């Protein structure tokens, strides 16, 4: 069986990624007051090779709701900035202490720890600056609120705090693990879809359907990530594997076993795809992306 590829999805991914990267370059053309090393660290992390899953979700959701995906590019870039900040900080010695990310040295390894912290710090306000400067208030305000909630203390950051705490707590259960990952991983995936719908002036019914899709996709993504950590090839993953067991982290394979984890992920992707029924063919890229998440090998 050939290896699944995100590039088989029925969406002009090459064009979309090119558009995303061009805008990310534009948004990081800082003036002379930005220190050269800070600028280099931001671009090093933000522009490193990646699947651009979250910004693609923004663009696909926008199209599913009936608008040209190009209209959602600023929102897509904002999500990628928040995602990149979270990766930079997650990789720090005080957190996950990772040496590789996307096949290259992590930001604190390439530069130094203080520069990495500050590069992540700078990406947070930049994301909101992009949203507020590129959209009228009717779009910028709800997008900013959604993004702030998704990356704040009750979701992304709160999920990371609980994820770190459970490394020293071996009494976790499936409900606790899913609660962590619905926030740490799922929050940005879900908000990506919501932002695309907001830019496209999607209906409340469309947004609710995309929310269901995002919640199911987020958990499926994390389960597959856990499976890949215990059996994946680090040369394909672009980061070290078998880290979770070494740190005593709770994972889906540890709690459920490999076979049941695979079955759970497949069920979540099935439910995600079913939630898009009312979108018709406009949501086919999202359906195919969900299947890719299930079958990915890196």
pLDDT tens digits, residue range 134-185? Answer: 999 999 999 999 999 999 999 999 999 988 887 766 566 788 888 998 998 9
- Establish if 3 belongs to a structural domain: no
Distances (CA, A) of 214 to 11, 175, 209: 18, 18, 9
CATH number, domain containing residue 115: 1.10.600.10
pLDDT band at 30 (very low <50, low <70, confident <90, very high): very high
With H, G, I as helix, E, B as strand and everything else as coil, classify residue 101: strand
The sign of the CA dihedral 185, 187, 191, 194 is positive
Does residue 6 belong to any structural domain of this protein?
A: no
Instruction: Answer yes or no: is 124 within a domain.
Output: yes
- Does any domain span residue 112? yes
Whole-number percent of the chain with pLDDT over 90:
73
Q: What is the pLDDT of residue 183?
A: 93
Strand partners, 101: 104
Structural domain of residue 208, as residue ranges?
11-295
Q: Are the C-beta atoms of 81 and 296 separated by less than 8 Å?
A: no
The number of beta carbons lying within 10 Å of the beta carbon of residue 225 is 19
Among 261, 174, 272, smallest CA distance to 216 is for 272
Residue 278: what pLDDT?
Answer: 93
State the angle between helix axes of 53-64 and 73-90 in degrees (0 to 180), rounded to the nearest 10. 150
- pLDDT at 158 (0 to 100): 94
Q: Which phi and psi (to 5°) does residue 100 adopt?
A: -125, 145
Q: What proportions of the chain, in percent to the nearest 5, are helix, strand and coil?
A: 75, 0, 25
Helical H runs in 31-171? 36-46, 53-64, 73-90, 107-110, 113-134, 137-150, 156-165
d(CA 45, CA 120): 9
- Is residue 32 included in any domain, yes or no? yes
72: left (phi over 0), alpha (psi -120 to 50) or beta: alpha
Tell me if 79 is assigned to some domain: yes
From the centroid of its chain, how far is CA 266? Answer: 19
Per-residue model confidence (pLDDT) at position 103: 83
- The pLDDT tens digits of the residues spanning 207-217 come to 999 999 999 99
pTM value is 0.90
The answer to the question of residue 232 being in a domain is yes
Counting residues of the chain whose pLDDT is more than 70, the rounded percentage is 89
The answer to whether position 2 is within a domain reads: no
What separation in angstroms does the CA of 47 have from each of 99, 156, 161, 188? 18, 22, 27, 19
Count: domains in the chain = 1
pLDDT grade, residue 10 (50/70/90)? low
* Angstrom distances, CA of residue 297 to CA of 14, 89, 99, 184, 261: 20, 25, 20, 21, 15
Question: Distance (Å, rounded) from C-alpha 35 to C-alpha 51?
Answer: 28
**First and final C-alpha spacing in the chain:** 16
């Amino acid at each position: 069986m050939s290896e699944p590829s995100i590039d088989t999805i029925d969406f002009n991914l090459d064009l979309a990624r090119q558009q995303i990267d061009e805008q990310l370059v534009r948004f990081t053309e800082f003036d002379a007051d930005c220190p050269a090393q800070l600028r280099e660290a931001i671009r090093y992390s933000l522009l490193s090779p990646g699947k651009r899953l979250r910004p693609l979700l923004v663009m696909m959701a926008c199209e599913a709701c009936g608008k040209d995906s190009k209209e959602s590019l600023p929102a897509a870039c904002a999500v990628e900035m928040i995602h990149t900040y979270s990766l930079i900080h997650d990789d720090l010695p005080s957190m996950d202490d990772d040496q590789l990310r996307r096949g290259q040295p992590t930001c604190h390894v390439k530069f130094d720890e203080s520069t990495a912290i500050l590069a992540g710090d700078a990406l947070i306000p930049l994301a909101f600056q992009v949203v507020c400067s590129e959209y009228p208030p009717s779009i910028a305000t709800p997008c900013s609120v959604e993004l702030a909630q998704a990356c704040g203390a009750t979701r992304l950051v709160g999920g990371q705090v609980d994820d770190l705490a459970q490394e020293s707590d071996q009494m976790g259960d499936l409900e606790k693990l899913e609660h962590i990952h619905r926030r740490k991983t799922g929050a940005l995936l879900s908000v990506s879809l919501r932002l695309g719908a907001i830019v496209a002036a999607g209906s409340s019914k469309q947004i609710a359907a995309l929310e269901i899709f995002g919640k199911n996709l987020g958990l499926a993504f994390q389960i597959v990530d856990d499976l890949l950590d215990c059996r994946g090839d680090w040369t394909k993953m672009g980061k070290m594997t078998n880290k979770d067991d070494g740190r005593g982290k709770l994972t889906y394979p540890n709690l459920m076993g490999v076979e049941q984890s695979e079955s759970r992920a497949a069920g979540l992707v099935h439910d995600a795809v079913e939630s898009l029924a009312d979108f018709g063919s406009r949501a086919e890229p999202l359906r195919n992306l969900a299947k890719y998440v299930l079958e990915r090998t890196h």
